[in-house]
Amino acid sequence: MHTSLYKAPAGLPTECWRPSVPDLYRYSLSQNCVDVCLTGLRRREEVDAAIAAVQQGKLTPPEIDYLNIYGDLHRDRLKIQQVPSEKLLYRS
């Protein structure tokens, strides 16, 4: 089952990083083959959040790895039990 990436996948520990929509823009722009990310922003707050996120620069390799796992959990390619705990990122 596919769900929106801004909703945590089933079974993800509550302490794990749940990326915001702007984090997902950063993920796209962190790929070496991507120069542009198109969005469908509707409100000024969304524009400001996207700009602030992009100004943080590219994601780190561990953040990219985590979001790859996060996406695989959403697409049911992985179950949370298959993910080594050291691959999970915890944020408050």
> How many distinct helices (H) and strands (E) make up the chain?
3, 0
Domain ranges, ordered by start, for the chain:
20-59, 60-92
| pLDDT score at 49 | 94
How many C-beta atoms lie closer than 10 Å to residue 54's C-beta? 14
pLDDT digits (tens, 9 = 90+) for 5-31: 878 898 999 999 999 999 999 999 999
* pLDDT mean across residues, the chain: 91
